[in-house]
Chain A
Amino acid sequence: MAQGTKPNDQQFEVFLGHLLRTGVLIAALIVFTGGLWFLAHSSGARKDYRTFHGVPAELSHVPQIVHGAVAWQPLAVIQFGILVLIATPVSRVLFSMLGFALERDWMYVLITAIVLALLLYSLISPSAG
């Protein structure tokens, strides 16, 4: 008992920290690239954010965003960067689960799996919106 933070845990946390920062930097890079491209191609007409219209479906659902980003549509590229950003904490939860599994702490593997399932439900299930 009372072994909450083992030395092992801490080395693993340092690794996780780097993973997260790399994820965020990659996301920022993608957002920045898409943003530059978008500004270069936009007609200069500013969007009105005062009234809410909602983002069109091709920019609000995961498969469509990936599809648009692969086709190099600037807004879809930005949105893909946002997806990468959302994925960084999700990947941290995933790696924590692997870490707990390596320590054979099955109670925490289960707890982490529940958190991961909730996250994936919100990201993937279209009915969650």
Chain B
Amino acid sequence: MLGSLTGLGGGVVIVPLLTLVFGVDIRYAIGASLVSVIATSSGAAAAYLREGYSNMRVGMFLEIATTIGALSGAFIAGYISTAKIAVIFGVVLLYSAYASLRTRHDSSVGLPADRLATFLKLDGSYPAAGADGSQKLAPVDGSAAERRWYHVRNVPAGFSLMYVAGVLSGLLGIGSGAVKVLAMDQAMKLPFKVSTTTSNFMIGVTAAASAGIYLHRGYIDPGLALPVVLGVLGGALTGALILPGAKVRTLRIVFGTVIAALGVQMIFDGLKGKL
């Protein structure tokens, strides 16, 4: 539920929880986490899509980069030690904590069009009603008068960052929501709500790409996946219902602090060779 509220995948919580608290081998933890990431993404999608923020073309185009990244990440994971994976995981947790605590501002309005983005038809619009903090849902017909238009920038930079996000997702079994939002928010200058909801869509597809490989490798154990799926699903459905609420900022601070602490612990245990 925390994951769906902050736009990050639930994986950043599941892997440390299973490894540090329950002593599960990190490979099983990564398998279970991927399953949770897919459940979070698909479970929350219905609510996100109805609001009309997500940009399908941006998502699908960048999905090429993330799926290739996820396949390479899952491939690399088979060849490096679990201690190294734990340390990388810890570093990513620290970054995610930093990213979720940092304040963001929309800088996308009024930027000139980008030639590559125009060629790829990436520019889009979002319901203006929700952008100023009001909770009114956009009408489904989405008439142009109520929508705010934006241009997409820096397509190559965003695409490269998405490849990195995919590698991390495939290597660590997480959604890499923080890196995805970085790519769309900071590099491509998409409005905040657009990048969060589009990232939710992409997380599921990216995780599905690595889940196939992990399944073949025997990392996805039915006994572990069972509680994870049921727990995450309940959380994701309730999380998406209260997303428009105003207390997200507080949640971010709590969530950021927790994952920063988990990150330090993962690096520490990884270096000591305990994981």
Contacts and interface: CB of A to CB of B under 8 A. Distances in A.
Nearest to B206: A89
Contacts of A52: 25, 27-28
Contact of A59 (B120, B213, B222): B222
B172 to A, nearest CB: 16
A61 B214 CA distance: 10
A3 B35 CA distance: 35
A21 B22 contact: no
Contacts of B71: 118, 121-122, 128
Contacts, number: 228
B49 A17 contact: yes
Which of B55, B63, B74 gathers most chain A CB within 10 Å? B63
Interface residues of A, number: 71
B116 interface: no
Contacts of A44: none
Given A1-B118, A60-B218, A61-B216, A115 B64 contact: yes
B182 interface: no
A120 B105 CA distance: 38
B42 A88 contact: yes
B254 interface: no
Given A32-B230, A89-B38, A82 B207 contact: no
Contacts of A129: 78, 213-217
Interface in B138-174: 140-143, 147, 149
Leading 3 A-B pairs by shortest Cβ distance: A129-B216, A4-B124, A54-B218
Interface of A: 1-5, 7, 9-11, 13-14, 16-18, 20-21, 23-24, 27-28, 31-32, 34-35, 38, 47, 49-52, 54-57, 59-62, 75-76, 78-79, 81-83, 85-90, 92-93, 96, 99, 105, 107-108, 111-112, 114-115, 118-119, 121-124, 126, 128-129
Given A49-B223, A87-B208, A89-B205, 16 more contacts: A4-B58, A20-B45, A28-B230, A50-B23, A52-B27, A60-B216, A60-B220, A62-B215, A75-B223, A82-B225, A85-B229, A86-B212, A92-B45, A92-B201, A115-B60, A129-B78
